[in-house]
Amino acid sequence: MDGQTRQVVVLYFITIFSLFSRYNSLEKDPPPPSYNYFEDLVSAGYDPQAYPSYFTTTIDDGHFKDLISQRTQVISQLQKLGVTSAPSTKTVNVNDFGATGDATQDTQAFEKAWEEACSSKGEVVLEVPQGQRYQLKPIRFSGPCNSNLTIQIYGSMEASDDMSDYKEDTKHWLIFDSINNLLIEGGGTGNINGNGKIWWQNSCKINKTLPCKDAPTALTFYHSKNLKVQNLNIQDAQQIHVSFEKCNGVQASGLTVAAPESSPNTDGIHVTRTQNIWITNSVIGTGDDCISIVSGSKNVQAMDITCGPGHGISIGSLGSKSSKAYVSGVTVDGAKLSGTTNGVRIKTWQASEAF
- Give the whole-angstrom CA distance, residue 63 versus residue 68: 9
The catalytically annotated residue of 172, 241, 270, 311 is 311
Count of CB atoms within 10 A of residue 267's CB? 27
Read off the DSSP letter of residue 66: H
**Residue 311 annotated in active site:** yes
Long-range contacts of 6-12, Cβ-Cβ distance < 8 Å, separation of 24 or more: 8/74, 8/77, 8/78, 8/81, 8/83, 9/78, 9/83, 11/74, 12/74, 12/75, 12/78
- Give the whole-angstrom CA distance, residue 180 versus residue 186: 18
- Give the whole-angstrom CA distance, residue 63 versus residue 21: 12
**Contact between residue 339 and residue 309 where contact means Cβ atoms under 8 Å apart:** yes
**Contact between residue 146 and residue 108 where contact means Cβ atoms under 8 Å apart:** no
Query: For the chain, where are the alpha helices, taking DSSP H only?
Result: 3-28, 37-43, 61-80, 107-119, 197-200
Residue 213 neighbours by CB under 8 Å, 6+ apart: 170, 202, 204
**Contact between residue 331 and residue 344 where contact means Cβ atoms under 8 Å apart:** no
Question: Which residues are tagged catalytic?
Answer: 311
